[in-house]
Amino acid sequence: MNAEIISIGTELLMGHIVNTNTAFLCRKLAEMGIDVYHTSVVGDNPSRLAKAINQAAVRSDIIITTGGLGPTVDDITIESIAALIGKKLILNKTVLKDIKDYFKFRKVHFPSDNIRQALIPEDTKWIRNRVGTAPGLIADYRQKVIVCLPGPPRELEAMFLNDVVSYIARKHTTGCRIRSRTIKLTGIPESLVNNKVKDFLHLKPPTTVGIYAKLGQVELKIMSKASGEREARRAIARIEKKIYGRLKDYIFGCDDETLEGAVGKMLIARKKTIAAAESCTGGLLASRLTDVNGSSKYFIMGLVAYSNEVKKNILCVDPETLKKYGAVSRQVASEMATGIKLLAGADIGIGITGIAGPSGGTKSKPVGLVYAAVAIQNKVIMRELRFRGSRDEIKFQTSQAVLEMIRKI
């Protein structure tokens, strides 16, 4: 059982966008035990698209196309597929109603161009788009299956996970499963993680471990291929346990878990509330903390205090402290943390001040210098942090380090 992905869109061939859809589909297909031997990209060109699909139909069991389902004349996927499988295009009233409802809900006038998206090849299964307007397709063709998905990643992902996975699983059972587990670490450099798990990184299939460095985060991916899901999971669990043994302190979660989610869970479990006063991160910490569903249970208040006036008047930072040590200082961070804790009546108060750059740095206080403080009970825990990178990279790394401080405390 193998699948092939054909991405359609001149914007991909021009390099305007990076093909993340193919990576997503490859990952999901691998998890289902379906091999992918080829992926390709063609432009918005009917004859090249038809050639690509015909070639795929010879060598692959499942052909998945992405993109080219939009309302404009550039979007040629449906016409091409209809011609290929020899079916007429028919206006589907259910689809049309879906599309009209989409605009109605948003209180936007229905643009007549979008009618095109309701044209479906006769007797062909279509997939409802719960996120956007273009429906997907699942068509049988010469004992093969052709699946057409829209280009926008959130539409494609929702459709694939909700509808395509179960369709393929029903039709085709494969003899093996690939499972993976990603262990996420922070507060430790890649090279140190590498050293600690060197023996695992040399493992040969069926079970392998890879290391991936991201901004403010290192990930270890364990993959296992086995005849059944249980065997694969068991092989992963064995290695996972050993990795935990060696790196426990730095691991904050697995797979889709986020650092803010892990912090949120701990706050809920311990019934603690939190409030944050941010200067250089400009609300990014609050935004990440509130990305978590249910965060209103523990997140009381965030304050972005850019000016000294706000720091003094609202957070009650002592004007003397500001004068003596400057806004970017250990002392001000600490007073911001206690100030917001009091103001919000929270259990934990966070204070962050620093220089996100690119301008504003000096010799003694360079761009990337950040002071972070966590006020809890009667203590204030302080850290001086130093980062490199662009403005958003410094903001992100700071938020990452502060979340890790909260997690550790």
Q: Is 312 exposed, middle or buried (0-12, 13-18, 19+ CB in 10 A)?
A: middle
Nearest approach, Cβ of residue 395 and a second copy (Å): 7
Cβ proximity of 283 and 306 under 8 Å:
no
Coil, helix or strand at residue 106: coil
Decide if 386 contacts 361 (C-beta within 8 A). Answer: no
Contacting a second copy within 71-110 (CB under 8 A): 71-74, 102-103, 105-109
Residue 159 as a binder of a second copy (CB under 8 A): the answer is: no
- State the Cα–Cα distance between residues 403 and 399, nearest whole angstrom: 6
Tell me if 336 contacts a second copy by CB under 8 A.
no
CB of 131 to a second copy, least distance (A): 6
Q: Measured from the CB atom, is 89 or 304 closer to a second copy?
A: 304
Q: Contacts with a second copy in 171-230 (CB under 8 A)?
A: 180, 189-192, 194-195, 201-202, 210-213, 215, 221, 223
Q: How many residues bind a second copy (CB under 8 A)?
A: 110
Show contacts with a second copy in window 353-372 (CB under 8 A). Answer: 356-360
What is the dihedral angle through the alpha carbons of 31, 189, 214, 208, rounded to the nearest 10 degrees? -20
Minimal distance, residue 86 CB to a second copy, in Å: 25
d(Cα 138, Cα 162) in Å, to the nearest integer? 13
Least Å from the CB of residue 96 to a second copy: 14
For a second copy, the closer CB: 125 or 381: 381
Is residue 340 within 8 A of residue 301, CB to CB? The reply is yes
Judged by beta carbon, residue 123 or residue 191, the one nearer a second copy is: 191
Which one, of 86, 187, 78, lies nearest residue 135 by Cα?
Answer: 78
Residue closer to a second copy (CB basis): 318 or 393: 393
Beta 217-226 vs 177-185: how paired, if at all? Answer: antiparallel
| Residue 159 one-letter amino acid | M
Least distance CB 274 / a second copy (angstroms): 10
* d(C-alpha 357, C-alpha 340), whole Å: 25
Cα-to-chain-centroid distance, residue 296: 22
Binders of a second copy in range 112-151 (CB under 8 A): 113-114, 131
Tell me, residue by residue from 378 to 407, as one string, x for binding to a second copy by CB under 8 A and - for no binding. --------xxxxxxxx-x------------
The one-letter code for the residue type at 368 is G
For a second copy, give the closer residue by CB, 125 or 188. 188
- Give me 407's structure tokens: 């997690």
- Measured between alpha carbons, how far is residue 280 from residues 57, 107, 181, 290, 328 in Å? 54, 38, 35, 18, 9
Residue 405 corresponds to which amino acid?
A: M
Using CB under 8 A, pick the residue from 1, 13, 96, 254 that binds a second copy.
Answer: 13
87/316 with CB nearer a second copy: 316
Quick note: the x/- pattern for a second copy over 25-54, rule CB under 8 A, is: xxxxxx-----xxxxxxxx-x--x---x--
Residue number, 49 or 127, with CB nearest to a second copy: 49
Which of the residues 52 through 71 are near a second copy (CB under 8 A)?
A: 52, 70-71
| 241-300: contacts with a second copy (CB under 8 A) | 276, 278, 281-287, 289-291, 293-296, 299-300
Q: How many CB atoms lie within 10 A of CB 409?
A: 12
By CB under 8 A, tell whether 341 contacts a second copy. Answer: no
Q: Between β-strands 62-66 and 144-149, what pairing exists: parallel, antiparallel or unpaired? A: parallel
